[in-house]
Structure 1
Amino acid sequence: MALKIGDQVPDLSLKDETGKEFNFRNADNKALVVYFYPKNFTPGCTREACGFRDSYEDFRELGAEVIGVSSDSKESHSKFKIKHQLPFLLLSDFNKKARKAFGVRSNLLGLLPGRETFVFNKAGNLIFRFNSLNSSIHIEEAFIALRKSLQE
């Protein structure tokens, strides 16, 4: 079942690129920008990751942590993170339990894992959900939603 605006961030844990467990509910009173992407080292996914990297400090200034999620292995995540100097966590969802918990659907007739971004406020409630194959607009949409929520 897909997450709806107002829903709590799922209570689940995934391993990051170092093998350390990360639980989405233990965000230390930070807003979360969680983006799901198909695969490390592909052109669109690299562009998206580097876009979040380049805007990372802007998100941090708003009290948010950025987290990337794909089904790639922790070893692949580690290489991807180092190569592109990514300052945020990359979580391995090899069994797709996070995709199921968040309700991320596949694209292109089920051939590609979905590309979707979720923004949660500091209380852990979903305030914005964005689905688009266009990787370059996820960063701006997430930033606008987060900034807007802080002004309310």
Structure 2
Amino acid sequence: MKKTTTLLLLLLISTLALSQGKVNNDFTGIWTVQNANISKGLDSQVQKMMLIMKNAFTGSKFHFNENGKFKIELKDKVNPMMEEMTTMLNGQNWRYFKTEKKIEVGQNHLVMFVKKQDGKYYFKLSDTPLTLVMKKN
């Protein structure tokens, strides 16, 4: 009885661990940022920062590689803050969490909540008022 309980417990833990964060074939590939939506009602300082981020992200490519590695290609040279962010994210592992409908890059360096609506994918960047409109290539 003790062996059976132990075996069932190990099986349950293994299943939970494997289902938590794994590469999802629905997201594997290259995604292009078609547009970025900024939440309304922001103060002018935050609005300016979001416009910089919107311009940097629009037209950029997110690579969700099968080997679990992430890469972002910004469309052009942008301000140093965005380049620093790109350097920090490139080569990090990415995972999709189905129950939370989110993608994590690195150790919570970038968290995006995924929503599909009217045939479009929206990646809401956590802790920012920015939502990326994405298209898989």
TM-score bucket of the superposed structures, by smaller chain: under 0.3
**TM-score for the superposition, normalised by structure 2:** 0.28
Which is strand-richer, 1 or 2? Answer: 2
Structure having greater relative contact order (Cα 8 Å, sep ≥ 6): 1
